[in-house]
């Protein structure tokens, strides 16, 4: 059996081979796939992320919607989502990821949709992230919530892997959107 660390290294290496132009082109395809769905509307409370390390770039989404929240890493391996506005300054955290400076934090159960970055995924909605477990801990409420946050994995099509398996603490994705398709597990 292949371990998660080896899978992560393999897919990070593939992603790192992308040129800036390829990231931009593929990100545009993903964004068009997002727009082709009816997953949310202009009034939805949307959590997203600032792309880093050649992740799919959703900056167009950040600039077109009003109710956007971005992750902020906190002590003890925790995370919150803070309000983002297009004129707001972003600062790099300890991982080199841009975060909003806003103190306007939203509760997890108030988010309608969360666009989740990933390293690899499978068609059953299992996501392999960077290994910190931040998203799994933050969205634990989804397991018992009658109206859970819709978790949408954002990926390049080449990040699909049939070798990853779910752990008991993993929170599954509801949808995966790639540059080629919308996958509903």
**Domain residues of the chain, as ranges?**
4-183
Per-residue pLDDT of the chain (185 residues; tens, 9 = 90+): 578 889 999 999 999 999 999 999 999 999 999 988 887 777 889 999 999 999 999 998 888 888 999 999 998 889 999 999 888 889 999 888 999 988 899 999 899 999 999 999 999 999 999 988 899 999 987 877 778 899 999 999 999 999 998 888 889 999 999 999 999 99
Q: How many CB atoms lie within 10 A of CB 110?
A: 12
pLDDT tens sequence across 1-24: 578 889 999 999 999 999 999 999
What tokens does 21 get?
Answer: 């132009």
**Is the distance from CB of 167 to CB of 43 less than 8 angstroms?**
no
The Cα 154–Cα 27 span in angstroms is: 10
Helix (H, G, I), strand (E, B) or coil at 51: coil
Looking at domain 4-183, its CATH class is alpha beta
**Is the distance from CB of 7 to CB of 161 less than 8 angstroms?**
yes
């Amino acid at each position: 059996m292949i371990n998660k660390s080896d899978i992560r290294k393999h897919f990070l290496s593939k992603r790192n081979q992308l040129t800036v132009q390829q990231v931009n082109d593929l990100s545009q395809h993903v964004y068009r796939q997002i727009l082709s769905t009816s997953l949310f509307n202009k009034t939805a409370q949307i959590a997203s992320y600032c792309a880093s390390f050649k992740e799919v770039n959703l900056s167009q989404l950040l600039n077109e919607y009003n109710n956007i929240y971005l992750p902020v890493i906190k002590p003890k391996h925790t995370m919150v989502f803070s309000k983002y506005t297009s004129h707001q300054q972003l600062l790099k955290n300890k991982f080199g990821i841009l975060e909003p400076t806003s103190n306007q934090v939203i509760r997890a159960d108030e988010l309608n949709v969360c666009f989740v970055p990933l390293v690899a995924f499978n068609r059953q909605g299992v996501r392999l992230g960077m290994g910190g477990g931040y998203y799994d801990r933050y969205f634990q409420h989804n397991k018992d919530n009658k109206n859970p946050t819709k978790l949408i994995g954002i990926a390049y099509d080449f990040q699909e892997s049939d070798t990853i398996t779910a752990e008991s603490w993993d929170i599954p994705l509801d949808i995966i959107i790639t540059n080629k398709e919308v996958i509903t597990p």
